[in-house]
Amino acid sequence: MRLSAAPAIVLTCLILSGCASSSGPETVLSPRPSREVTSSVAPPAAPVVSVPGPVPSSDVAMTEASSEPPEELAWAGQVPQPEAFTTMESEAAMPVPMDRPVAMVVPDNPAIDEAPRSRSRVYSHRFRDAKPINFGKRSPRKMAVHGVDVSRWQGNIDWEKLRTQGANFAYIKATDGGDHLDPMFKKNWRRAEQAGLKRGAYHFFYWCRTAGEQADWFIRNVPREANALPPVIDVEYNGESSCKRRLSPERIREKMQVFMDKLERHYGQRPVIYTAPDFYRDNLRNAFPNHPFWLRSVAAHPSKVYPGRKWLFWQYSGSGLSHGVDGRIDLNVFHGSEAEWHRWTAGSST
């Protein structure tokens, strides 16, 4: 049946009026967003833009109502430097990154120091010796980690080649006395690191200068760097030195203690003591039980030359031959396995 236009309009108004009155005081709920949207069709999230002015109350309510914790992302690769998270305040008092948003959730206290460090490769020794010694069953060649010590007398060193020959670490002459710097130290220090060697610096102790002066001179010239090996104090007799003074064992140990304490405070590492058989016999037997020792013994195993002394490094030759160095070079070995070497270097780093 067909209705005229006027009655149809009146009937429509009556129906709409009745629907409005029947709703009563009930609360009208806004529809929930659908959870069936997949990531394959969802648009990329728009970057968050800080807008001046107060945060809308509806946004605050939605944030407080959310019960799902934010997804924490694992660290991928290198931990960002702290500068990447420096913030500045916007007009709305909301922190925003100074550069660009970082696409990761940052823990409150990132354990940067606990991140695993990559281990450097340990090369097997390929050194030759101009004056080889048969050490018997306790030969240093059976040990895992070999290294060298160098000074100006080795000239220009091809550090990359030296490393592949088996030099996994190098102790580099830095200073002696209170005013002498090895002219090759800075170059050797830089090049050894570039070639991937673990390296440390040593000081030749001069008995005619105060221990404090010598410590200050070493600290002035040897940088404090992460991953460097502990500093070394080289104490021995030197017939070519202009200093002919012979101190008592007590005075020698006193001066050494002053020097080592000052270095330990500065570098945060306990210094290693390098010495030779005659000097050790006269001055250091049973002394410094809590310091690591680096012992020179080119004719017999250290246990025979330094009975009862624990050691960290053994200098077993002063006549080593290697590609990368013209002339002879001192050869050394670490007292331990490859795994123990990695643990020690990780623990001794500043």
Find the catalytic residue in 193, 213, 236, 338.
236
CB hemisphere CA count around 345 (13 angstroms):
27
Please identify which residue in the block is written with the tokens 């570098």: 267
Sign of the Cα pseudo-torsion (250, 254, 260, 265, in order): positive
Structure tokens of 89?
A: 């305040």
Within 8 A by CB and 6+ apart from 142, the residues are none
Within 8 A by CB and 6+ apart from 346, the residues are 117
Please say if 225 is a catalytic residue: no
Contact 314, 305 (CB under 8 A): no
Report residue 211: phi and psi, to 5°. Answer: -65, -40
Phi-psi region of 61 (alpha: psi -120 to 50; beta: other; left: phi over 0): alpha
Contact 123, 163 (CB under 8 A): yes
In 3D, which of 177, 203, 174 has the Cα closest to residue 189?
Answer: 174
Catalytic residue annotation = 236
